[in-house]
Amino acid sequence: MALKDKWQQDRIGRQQGVQERQQQVQTTLSLWQQERQNQASEFREDLEYRVTDLLANYQKQRLEARETLLEDLAIFR
């Protein structure tokens, strides 16, 4: 095998190695992005639940305070 042929084969091998690593990086990035999107979605759902619960509790407390004030007002009449 001529030196030039050997060099070309080595070059092709290196190029294939680079392409394989690029594909691995691309696959890893895609998986990472998908996982990140899933985490963001779960975080949003959890946050929405917590905010809804907090607002419901606040509304309940306001109604209870209103009832107490109305009862106190009725006593003074």
Instruction: Say what the pLDDT of residue 76 is.
Output: 80
pLDDT at 77: 75
Condensed to tens digits (0 to 9), the pLDDT of residues 35-65 reads 999 999 999 999 999 999 999 999 999 999 9
The answer to whether the predicted template modeling score (pTM) of the entire model surpasses 0.85 is no
Quick one: which of 8, 28, 32 has its CA closest to 20?
28
Residue 74: band (very low, low, confident or very high) from pLDDT cuts 50, 70, 90: confident
Q: Quick one: pLDDT at residue 1?
A: 67
Residue 48: its pLDDT value, please?
98
Calpha distance 62→69 (Å, rounded): 10
CA dist 13 and 24 (Å) reads 17
